Amino acid sequence: MSALGLLKSKNMEREREKGNSEATKEVYT
């Protein structure tokens, strides 16, 4: 797994924990 992929999944996990859909949207935009 690449470092970038690892970083991305870590960010997604964080947003999921927060349950902040707006923040998740920013990640995907």
15: CB partners within 8 A, 6+ apart: 23, 24, 27
Q: DSSP 3-state assignment of 19?
A: coil
Q: Residue 20: its pLDDT value, please?
A: 61
Over range 5-23, report the average pLDDT.
80
pTM (predicted TM-score) = 0.43
Inform me whether the pLDDT recorded for 8 exceeds 80. yes
Whole domain around residue 4: which residue ranges? 1-29
* CA 9/CA 21 separation, integer angstroms: 16
Over range 2-20, report the average pLDDT.
84
Number of domains observed in the structure of the chain: 1
Over range 1-29, report the average pLDDT.
76
DSSP letter (8 states) at residue 1: -
